[in-house]
Amino acid sequence: MVLQAEEWVRQHCVHYLIHEKKYPISLINVEKTILINGLKKRYDIVVFNPDGSLAIVVECKAPKVKITQAAFDQIARYNLVLKAPYLMVTNGLNHYFCSMNHVLGNYEFLETIPLYNTKDI
């Protein structure tokens, strides 16, 4: 079996979440189907809070894929349903993080996502 480029990014991102950001592996879910506007879509990674609510949605692209507005539009569509407070888009080389304000309907770019078990989650 050949490791596809996007899968390489996904696995490295999961490693980052576990080892750098200290999220328990039991709270990380990879490649599941969700229903958005009647269409089946697949998210790359979600991280749950201990209470089962979503903490982070991650969209992974292959390293050769430039992160564009289309990638943000894709994760924003997913997050209309998922309602996570944090989003991450990565191609393994470039990483973008933002916090969502679902009440005001806006977002703010961040330097990184918070560590697990902080007051921010």
pLDDT > 60? residue 119: no
CA distance 7 to 83: 24
pLDDT > 90? residue 113: yes
CATH no., domain 5-110:
3.90.1570.30
Domain ranges in the chain are 5-110
Confidence label for 31 from pLDDT (cuts 50, 70 and 90): confident
The token pair that represents 48 in the structure block: 């749950």
Give the pLDDT confidence score for residue 118 in this predicted structure: 55
Give the pLDDT confidence score for residue 15 in this predicted structure: 97
Give the pLDDT confidence score for residue 95 in this predicted structure: 95
pLDDT tens column, 68-104: 988 888 888 889 889 999 999 999 999 999 999 888 8
Could you tell me the sign of the dihedral formed by the alpha carbons of 9, 60, 120, 23, in that order? negative
